[in-house]
Chain A
Amino acid sequence: MSLDLFVSHYNYWVVILLMMVGFYILISRGNLIKKIVGLNVFQTSVFMLYISMGKITGGTPPILVGDGHGGDAVEHVVYSNPLPHVLILTAIVVGIATTSVGLALAVRIKEAYGTLEEDEINRIEALVEASE
């Protein structure tokens, strides 16, 4: 792969990097809060993926250029695609909702178990199951 291709697509490399970092945190960390942070990073990488693909080289924001009354509207203006941005606004809201539900659950788990470490919770649950 040529260096040009690598450099011109650097945002996509960042997407992949963030995605893997987030996914790794999600899998490897035992702390329930850190898992949610990992999930957040993972989701953020997807936001970047969408926004990257909406961007067109040399494209302007999708706002009508000119006076807007047909006077001296500029022809042949290249616009960036606004749709991915709009989709991601929705996805950000969804991400915040997921995070808040996750954190609320973490609070309840802390109250019920007295810990946020996954291995300690598993130990407590195994003890309870054995005593049944």
Chain B
Amino acid sequence: MTAQLPILQVIVPLLAAPICAVLRHGRAATWLAVLASWSALAIAVVLLGQVMAGGVVSYHIGDWVPPIGIEYRVDIVNAWVLVIVASIGAVVAPYSVTSVEHEIASRRIPLFYAAYLLCLSGLLGITITGDMFNVFVFLEISSLSAYALISLGRPRRALTAAYRYLIMGSVGATFIVIGIGLLYVMTGSLNMADLAELLPGVWDSRTVKVAYGFLGVGVCLKLALFPLHLWLPNAYAFAPSPVTAFMASTATKVAVYMLLRFFLSIFGAAFSFDVMALDRVLLPLALVAVVSMSLVAIFQVDVKRLLAYSSVAQIGYMILGLSFASVTGLTATLLHLFNHALMKGALFMALGCVVYRIGSVHIDAMAGLGKRMPWTMAAFVVGGLSLVGVPLTVGFISKWYLILGALEKGGPWIAVAVLVLVTSVMALVYVWRVVEAAYLREFSGDEATREAPLSLLAPTWILVAANLYFGIDAVRTAGVARQAAEVLMAGIGS
């Protein structure tokens, strides 16, 4: 049974999705989705344990030996990402029970859960597979369901946001297919481990470099790296609350994982940094993303949109860590994958509680909410502090490693460390604007406004608690992230 875990990781939510769709009964579909996402988390945790204990787990689908057959290959890097995606999926599923009933028409609820599970299985599939074309297939499964999920948002602008994401996302996915095709022309293989062995022989060819470019642009579209982020703010702002919480914490993280897997494992760190100068391409983009998007976030009045711009800035931090081209920098990237999932998940879920009660996340509508919804706003404050990077929260751990990585390199990189601090202050500004409205202004809304129901607060506070727990005891997370960074940077001196 345990030998089948890698395939079950994907199959369980994938099979639960159509069952949800045909159930046509809101409650039944809901609990099936919760059950499927929890079992996905259990499988991911067991897989991580297996990998930590015994090294790489390789699963041959249908017993076809790779590179002919499709291989699922779990090493410390994707076991880590699987746990991130599955745990967010498992927390958001029970949260959406109450939230979805409020935000989505009841006849669409089974379909919502079908799309949700498809999106989850697509993201898990991208992460677990060891086959390039399989990545593309799962990418499209997750993307197509994500378009549908976003379009379920109440405001009609959710439709245009989903449409724009569809166009840009499809272009990105097509670029990835072109890249995969060019690699296949040069090597005759689609298996990642096999490609990693074959590619050094053809490094010099222009085709491989063009493939590198196509894959890079395609993945960067998916992960919303500045300036390819234009689809993201509206998609996050107008999607239903649980969808925003889920997408913000998982979709871009998986895209970052794809970037790391393609460029560091398959092409190899040596090729990426020495031949293609990946670090010098990504560094300016990451810095511009962090600074400009933090600045834009400060001037937003829609809090969901404010956090969406902040997400683009936070993706900048992840790419910044990668552009250090060092183990410490990469550790910061991998840590921030996990930490950002926790903080953005908590923040967007707190906003979902606000939407549930007052129906708006406009900053003026949230005035005085601190007294009316103390637990919700307390969750927002903790998440916000984590976003800023205050000690005792996970945000601090990410920033710590990021600055450590910059100082390690010394010289002009000190300026990067300073910039990280400056942008943290900018994060403080935009978080403060919300806090100021919620706590220092008078409440002017409906007198009957009460605290959000426990079914929303409990999942939110699970993530908030995780923000604090992993902020205080970062030994385990930092250990796994460092181990993963060392695997990815293998073959290049730290």
Contacts and interface: CB of A to CB of B under 8 A. Distances in A.
Contacts of B159: 105, 108-109, 112
B177 A91 contact: yes
B105 to A, nearest CB: 13
A51 to B, nearest CB: 10
B160 A132 contact: no
Q: Which of B136, B144, B147, B156 has the most CB of A within 10 A?
A: B156
A105 B174 contact: no
Given A98-B166, A112-B159, A49 B140 contact: no
B133 A90 contact: yes
B362 interface: yes
A98 B170 contact: yes
Nearest to B165: A105
Interface centre among A39, A43, A50, A94 (most CB of B within 10 A): A94
A104 to B, nearest CB: 8
Interface residue tally of chain A, by bracket?
A: 20 to 34
Contacts of A26: 167, 171
Contacts of B167: 26, 35, 39, 102
Given A46-B177, A125-B157, A105 B185 contact: no
Main secondary structure of the interface of B (DSSP, over half): helix
B273 interface: no
B170 A43 contact: yes
Contacts of B137: 90, 94
B171 A42 contact: yes
Given A94-B140, A105-B151, A125-B157, A39 B184 contact: no
B181 interface: yes
A23 to B, nearest CB: 8
A42 B174 CA distance: 8
Contacts of A14: none
B171 A98 contact: no
A90 B140 CA distance: 11
A101 B147 contact: yes
A84 B184 CA distance: 9
Given A43-B170, A49-B178, A102-B166, A108 B151 contact: yes
A20 interface: no
A18 interface: no
Given A102-B163, A112-B156, A46 B147 contact: no
Nearest to A53: B185
Contacts of A32: 163
Contacts of B148: 101
B125 to A, nearest CB: 14
A57 to B, nearest CB: 15
Contacts of B82: none
Given A91-B177, A98-B140, A53 B157 contact: no
Interface string A47-91: 001100100000000000000000000000000000110010011
Contact of B133 (A87, A106, A112): A87
A24 interface: no
Interface string B148-181: 1001000011011011001100110010011001
A39 B160 contact: no
A39 to B, nearest CB: 6
A82 to B, nearest CB: 13
B151 A39 contact: no
A97 interface: yes
Contacts of A108: 151, 159
In the A-B complex, the 7 residue pairs with the closest CB atoms: A112-B156, A94-B140, A105-B163, A109-B159, A53-B185, A108-B159, A98-B170
22 contacts: A23-B171, A35-B167, A42-B171, A43-B174, A46-B181, A53-B181, A83-B184, A91-B136, A94-B137, A98-B140, A101-B148, A105-B151, A106-B163, A108-B159, A109-B156, A109-B159, A109-B163, A112-B156, A112-B159, A113-B156, A128-B157, A132-B362
Given A46-B174, A102-B170, 6 more contacts: A42-B171, A98-B170, A101-B144, A101-B166, A112-B159, A125-B160
